[in-house]
């Protein structure tokens, strides 16, 4: 039996053990018997039992007391001084959104919880929960009618980006922990970052134009965090202490999902670009016919196509590394592909806006042109599901 | 936080003579202690006896004013000693696999047991026997730390209390034990 088989058997025993539940009759019977004995012996015991004086040290060990005392008192004074110590205000702030009066209290109370957590893995888990709150805040602002929506969305995206960067730093701190608890938390972070990137993509599609860039940056930060998490998982999958929490198959599965997600972004951008290219050709010929000059969109589409090509070939290299099982080399390649894909996406979106404007500016029969721009937009939506990237 | 609650319950028992505080500790740990001993003992009855004896000894320790820094680790320590005593008394040197069909502990859902679930318990017991036989050649310290960590999921701090060692020493033993597994294969 190999060491791996042995660890699998241990895991299987552990899983079974977790499912064992004692017989309810036995639990109740034993409880009743014990309680009879306890109630009978308590009065007799009271004389001999020496009760220590009540103090915080009754509950904390001396070492724990020393560690916790200083930061706890410091944070307590800060919270009392700044927020007047109102528990109610902290509780009310939980529902606040970026831009609200109570929002800074929400952020500060999260910071307090983080400061009071000493275990690195627990800290990461807590921060991941806070990142979840950030995406919920973004969705809440995006789906409800709130004043100054673009400003608040931008602010929420900035806070999310900052929190994701903190998670990334925390990931590098737990990298050397080599514990099962840490590996399990990193797995959660990996999964959550993919979900966040996906949710941001959906919010971004319907968001006002001026906040799309901020949301795209937050999306890159989410993917970046996911890739960093996978780097830690790769290490965990090679460590005998943690490899049965994170297997190589888990890591490959996560990497494959990331490759697919980047590929999807590239496909959508490529389809949009193809539509813009077609419309540019049409408008260029119209400009030529009316003698109003050369369509500038033609040059822009070709540079965006180059960006898309770069992203696509980088992604292809990442895919090859994955198929060759070169897991340690793939993360940098994926990050490169994400950045390139995002730049291409931003450029494509700017082109979509410019092309609509350019079509409207052509001094020909307006009814025809309006018809064409509508066709362009419809075509963009209808081709977004295509999977082949063939830049124009 | 869980340790803090335990210490508060202990304080209630000792200072306020609060019997319900003992009941709270019992409710909190009965399932985990039963799980801890169940697969290590040959029959359900033995597991039940050892579990109830564990809580009785815990109560006696409270009466004798024994210092209990960590209730959870203390209970595991008592349960482990009782399992060892059981085999010593029965003069069994090996863990025995039973195909006892009278096993009635419910599995996972708490519903009435069926043969499929019981089969899983029997297989787990057999797996445990295989694992234990396999690591029999390791030092006793290695075996204890490996099973407490990988099967029972105890923290290094808790294992340190159960085995009466320092947490740092337990970590070292654990890493050496994992490395020693390589030599077994």
Q: Which domains does chain B have, with CATH numbers?
A: 1-83 (1.10.1740.10), 94-137 (no CATH), 138-185 (1.10.10.10)
Residue A6, in any domain of the structure = no
A272/A389 same-domain check: yes
Per-residue pLDDT for B43 more than 70?
yes
Contact A155, A99 (CB under 8 A): yes
Touching check for A388 and chain B: CB below 8 Å?
Answer: no
Mutation test of the interface with chain A: which of B10, B32, B124, B143, choosing the one with the most A Cβ atoms within 10 A?
A: B124
Same domain, A261 and A294: yes
Residue showing tokens 């701190």: A173
Which of A22, A24, A49 is nearest residue B65 as measured by Cβ atoms? A49
Residue A305's domain comprises 252-392
Residue of A nearest to B177 (CA): A241
Contact A345, A360 (CB under 8 A): no
In this complex, do B55 and A48 lie within 8 Å of one another by their Cβ atoms? no
Q: Give counts: helices (H), strands (E), chain A.
A: 13, 1
Picking from A13, A45, A49, the nearest residue to B151 by CB comes out as: A13
Mean pLDDT over residues B2-6, rounded?
77
Within 8 A by CB and 6+ apart from A265, the residues are: A201, A341, A342, A345
Note whether A56 contacts B: Cβ–Cβ < 8 A. no
> What are residue A301's phi and psi, to 5 degrees?
-65, -35
CB contact under 8 A, A241 and B14: no
State mean pLDDT over B8-29.
Answer: 87
Which residue out of B2, B12, B15 would a mutagenesis test of the A interface target, given it has the greatest number of A Cβ atoms within 10 Å? B15
Task: Give yes or no: residues A223 and A348 share one domain.
Answer: no
CB pairs under 8 A between A and B: 143
Reported confidence tier of residue A323, pLDDT bands at 50, 70, 90: confident
pLDDT for position A27: 93
Distance (Å) from the C-alpha of residue B89 to the closest C-alpha of chain A? 23
pLDDT in the model for residue B39: 78
Encode pLDDT of A337-363 as tens digits: 888 887 888 778 777 777 666 555 555
Angle, vertex CA A17, rays to CA A12 and CA A22, nearest 5: 155
Q: Counting Cβ atoms within 10 Å, is residue B131 exposed (0-12), middle (13-18) or buried (19+)?
A: buried
ipTM of the complex: 0.75
Give the whole-angstrom CA distance, residue B185 versus residue B178: 12
Whether the Cβ atoms of residue A350 and residue A213 lie closer than 8 Å to each other: no
Question: Are A280 and A355 a contacting pair, CB within 8 Å?
Answer: yes
Instruction: Look up residue A49 and give its DSSP letter.
Output: P
With respect to residue A1, please indicate whether it lies within any of the assigned structural domains. Answer: no
- Percent over 90 (pLDDT), chain A: 6
- Cβ atoms within 10 Å, residue B110: 12
Q: Residue A389's pLDDT band (boundaries 50, 70, 90)?
A: very low
On the question of pLDDT at A302 being above 80, the answer is no
Q: How far apart are CA A57 and CA A54, in angstroms?
A: 8
Answer whether residue A50 shows pLDDT above 70: no
Mean pLDDT value of segment A99-124: 82
Domain match, A203 and A288 both = no
Whether A72 has a pLDDT exceeding 80, the answer reads no
Angle at A317 between CA A190 and CA A333, to 5 degrees: 45
| pLDDT recorded at residue A390 | 41
Band of pLDDT at residue A134, cut at 50, 70 and 90? very high
Using one digit for the tens of pLDDT, what is the confidence trace for A7-44? Answer: 777 777 777 777 788 889 999 999 999 998 888 877 55
Q: How far is A77 from chain B (nearest CA, A)?
A: 22
Contact B51 A38 (CB under 8 A): no
Both tokens of residue B38?
A: 């169940």
Give the pLDDT confidence score for residue B29 in this predicted structure.
93
* pLDDT bucket at B34, cuts 50 / 70 / 90: very high
* Mean pLDDT rounded to a whole number for chain A: 75
Q: Do B151 and A22 touch (CB under 8 A)?
A: no
Taking 80 as the threshold, does the pLDDT of residue A48 lie above it? no
Q: Within this chain, do residues A308 and A382 fall inside the same structural domain, yes or no?
A: yes
Q: Is residue A53 part of a domain?
A: no
- Would the pLDDT of A78 be above 70? no
| Sign of the CA dihedral with A165 first, then A170, A172, and A175 last | negative
Q: Which residue has the tokens 């390649």?
A: A333
Query: CA-nearest residue of chain A to B24?
Result: A31
Does the model's pTM come out above 0.90? no
> CA B18 to CA A39: how far, in whole Å?
9
Across the interface, of A10, A19, A33, the residue whose CB is closest to B150 is A10
Within-domain flag for A38? no
Minimal CA separation from B44 to chain A, in Å: 9
Give the pLDDT of residue A281. 63
Query: A256 and A241: one domain?
Result: no
């Amino acid at each position: 039996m190999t060491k791996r088989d042995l660890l699998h058997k241990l895991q299987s025993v552990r899983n079974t053990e977790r499912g064992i539940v004692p017989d309810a009759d036995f639990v109740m019977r034993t409880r009743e018997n014990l309680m009879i004995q306890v109630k009978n012996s308590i009065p007799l015991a009271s004389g001999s039992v020496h009760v220590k004086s009540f103090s915080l040290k009754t509950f904390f060990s001396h070492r724990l007391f020393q560690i916790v005392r200083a930061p706890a008192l410091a944070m307590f004074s800060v919270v009392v001084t700044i927020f007047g110590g109102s528990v109610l205000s902290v509780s009310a702030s939980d529902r606040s959104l970026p831009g609200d009066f109570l929002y800074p209290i929400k952020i500060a109370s999260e910071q307090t919880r983080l400061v009071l957590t000493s275990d690195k893995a627990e800290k990461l888990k807590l921060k991941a929960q806070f990142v979840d709150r950030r995406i919920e805040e973004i969705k809440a602002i995006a789906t409800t009618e709130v004043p100054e929506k673009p400003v608040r969305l931008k602010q929420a995206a900035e806070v999310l980006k900052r929190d994701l960067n903190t998670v990334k730093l925390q990931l590098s701190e737990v990298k050397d922990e080599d514990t099962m608890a840490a590996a399990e938390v990193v797995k959660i972070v990996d999964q959550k970052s993919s979900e966040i990137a996906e949710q941001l993509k959906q919010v971004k599609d319907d968001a006002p134009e001026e906040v799309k860039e901020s949301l795209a940056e937050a999306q890159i930060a989410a993917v970046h965090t996911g890739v960093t998490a996978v780097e830690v998982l790769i290490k965990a999958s090679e460590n005998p202490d943690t490899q049965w929490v994170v297997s190589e198959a888990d890591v490959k599965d996560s990497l494959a999902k990331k490759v697919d997600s980047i590929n999807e972004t590239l496909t959508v951008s490529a389809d949009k670009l193809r539509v813009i290219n077609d419309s540019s050709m049409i408008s260029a010929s119209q400009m030529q016919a009316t003698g109003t000059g050369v369509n500038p969109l033609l040059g822009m589409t070709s540079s965006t196509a180059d960006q898309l090509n770069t992203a696509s070939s980088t992604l292809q290299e990442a895919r090859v590394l994955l198929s060759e099982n070169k897991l340690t080399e793939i993360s940098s390649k994926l990050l490169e592909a994400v950045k390139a894909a995002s730049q291409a996406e931003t450029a494509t979106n700017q082109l979509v806006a410019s092309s609509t404007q350019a079509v409207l500016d052509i001094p020909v029969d307006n009814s025809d042109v309006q018809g064409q721009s509508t066709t362009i937009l419809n075509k963009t939506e209808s081709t977004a599901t295509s999977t082949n990237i063939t830049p124009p | 936080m869980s340790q803090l609650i335990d210490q508060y319950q202990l304080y209630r028992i000792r200072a306020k003579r609060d019997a319900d505080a003992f009941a709270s500790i019992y409710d909190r740990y009965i399932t985990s202690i039963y799980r801890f001993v169940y697969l290590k003992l040959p029959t359900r009855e033995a597991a039940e006896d050892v579990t109830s004896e564990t809580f009785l000894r815990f109560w006696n320790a409270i009466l004798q004013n024994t210092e209990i820094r960590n209730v959870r680790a203390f209970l595991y320590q008592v349960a482990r000693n009782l399992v060892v005593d059981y085999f010593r008394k029965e003069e069994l040197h090996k863990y025995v696999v039973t195909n006892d069909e009278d096993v009635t502990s419910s599995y996972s859902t708490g519903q009435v047991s069926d043969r499929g679930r019981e089969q899983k318990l029997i297989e787990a017991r057999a797996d445990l026997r295989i694992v234990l036989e396999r690591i029999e050649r390791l030092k006793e310290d290695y075996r204890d730390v490996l099973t407490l960590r990988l099967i029972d999921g105890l923290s290094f701090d808790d294992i340190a209390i159960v085995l009466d060692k320092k947490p740092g020493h337990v970590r070292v033993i654990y890493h050496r034990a994992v490395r020693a597994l390589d030599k077994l294969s």
